[in-house]
Structure 1
Amino acid sequence: MAKRKAVSGDEVDAFSANHRAHNWRAGQRKAIKTGANRRDRREARREARLENAS
């Protein structure tokens, strides 16, 4: 599995092992992770379509 590409500093903080050092609001960390996972899935779909097209 490839290392996740972080887009923002919030993602770096949310996915780090030291995420408890930050004071996250309710649902804030989940929203960041949901957006990152959605972006990963979208990219995987794009790659699969390009692979199947050629």
Structure 2
Amino acid sequence: MESVDNKIYSEIKKCGRGLIFSSSDFTKFGEPKSILKTLERMANSERIIRVSRGV
């Protein structure tokens, strides 16, 4: 089974560079807190760039 991290990152990679998204775009992958934490980890590891809190 694929992790929430991998599911979200795969979804982001499909969209290509330059797309802006929020945590609500990934609600199908899990609970809001889990999604927020996943995006936070991705931003901290520089896999994604946080433009603003929640975006």
Pair in the same fold by TM > 0.5: no
* TM-score, normalised relative to structure 1: 0.37
**Could you say which structure has the larger radius of gyration?**
1
* TM-score, normalised relative to structure 2: 0.37
